[in-house]
């Protein structure tokens, strides 16, 4: 036997121990940051998520007007607030905050791209596409707007989406900019954590 079956679990255990130590070091250094930095790191994703909820409400209003839906405003509005908020929060935490706190996102440009993509797709485009089937179901139920045949489905929804995207261009751009800015600030806070000196020792860097 080459002994690989014994070396691999040992190596995996060593990696897990190193990761746990790194997480503990980062958490300790995070606790020694200023209150402003800690607050921004912890609440930044909430602000981006609130903007996503706002985009959801705007998209819902625009689609309802195009489909002439006036019924069930609360039933259509509530999901458009809650779902974009939760989706943006979960994706941002999983893609940016958690990797930073685990020391796995050292590339600043990668963090910026992730933040901008989350702001664009999860924070603004996703709410628009979420509003379409929700209000289409209401329009079909209350017969406020004729639904297309199977042959014209694509062109029909394309004609609905075009004015919605046109009116929400500024909101989408704003979400991209804010997502990029927020992720860049969070990465700067991560670098501050790396520059924090270990307790009782000289300043050191995490590898």
Q: Rounded to whole angstroms, what are the CA distances from 106 to 42, 60, 91, 116?
A: 19, 38, 18, 17
- Return the exposure string of 84-108: e unless at least 16 CB atoms fall within 10 Å of the residue's CB, then b: bbebbbebbeebbbebbbebebeee
Beta bridge mates, 197: 203
Q: Name the phi and psi angles at 33, rounded to 5.
A: -75, 170
Distance CA 123, CA 95 (A): 14
Range of the domain at 179: 4-195
Q: Is residue 203 part of a domain?
A: no
Over residues 176-203, the mean pLDDT reads: 84
Q: How many CB atoms lie within 10 A of CB 135?
A: 27
Q: Is residue 172 part of a domain?
A: yes
Q: Is residue 106 part of a domain?
A: yes
Q: Is residue 206 part of a domain?
A: no
pLDDT (tens digit, 9 = 90+) per residue, 108-143? 999 999 999 999 999 999 999 999 999 999 999 999
Q: Which is more confident, 23 or 202? A: 23
Q: Which two tokens stand for residue 72?
A: 């069930």
Beta bridge mates, 203: 197
- Of 20-29, 57-66, 84-93, the range with the lowest mean pLDDT is 20-29
Q: Is residue 200 part of a domain?
A: no
Mean pLDDT, rounded, of the chain: 87
pLDDT the model gives residue 198: 64
> Pick from 59, 89, 94, 91: which is nearest to 76 by CA?
59
Q: How many domains does the chain have?
A: 1
pLDDT the model gives residue 20: 67
pLDDT the model gives residue 8: 55
Q: Which two tokens stand for residue 44?
A: 């930044």
pLDDT the model gives residue 132: 93
Q: Which two tokens stand for residue 177?
A: 């900019």
Q: Is residue 99 part of a domain?
A: yes
pLDDT the model gives residue 25: 85
pLDDT at residue 203 greater than cutoff 50: no
Global pTM reads 0.85
Q: Which is more confident, 59 or 26? A: 59
Distance CA 22, CA 42 (A): 19
Quote the Cα angle for 54-57-60, to 5°: 150
pLDDT band at 147 (very low <50, low <70, confident <90, very high): confident
């Amino acid at each position: 036997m080459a002994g690989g079956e014994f070396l691999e679990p040992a190596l995996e255990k060593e990696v897990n121990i190193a990761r746990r130590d790194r997480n503990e070091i980062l958490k300790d250094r995070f606790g020694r940051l200023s209150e402003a930095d800690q607050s921004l790191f912890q609440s930044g994703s909430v602000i981006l998520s609130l903007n996503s909820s706002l985009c959801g409400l705007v998209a819902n209003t625009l689609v309802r007007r195009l489909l002439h839906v006036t019924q069930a405003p609360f039933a259509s509005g509530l999901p458009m607030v809650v779902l974009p908020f939760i989706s943006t929060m979960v994706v941002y935490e999983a893609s940016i905050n958690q990797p930073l706190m685990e020391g796995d996102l050292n590339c600043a440009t990668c963090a910026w791209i992730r933040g901008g993509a989350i702001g664009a797709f999860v924070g603004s485009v996703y709410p628009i596409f979420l509003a379409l089937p929700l209000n289409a179901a209401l329009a079909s139920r209350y017969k406020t707007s004729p639904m297309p045949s199977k042959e014209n489905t694509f062109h029909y929804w394309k004609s609905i989406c075009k004015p919605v995207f046109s009116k929400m261009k500024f909101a989408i751009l704003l979400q991209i900019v804010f997502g990029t800015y927020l992720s860049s600030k969070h990465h700067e806070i991560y670098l501050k954590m790396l520059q924090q000196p270990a307790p009782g020792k000289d300043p050191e860097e995490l590898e």
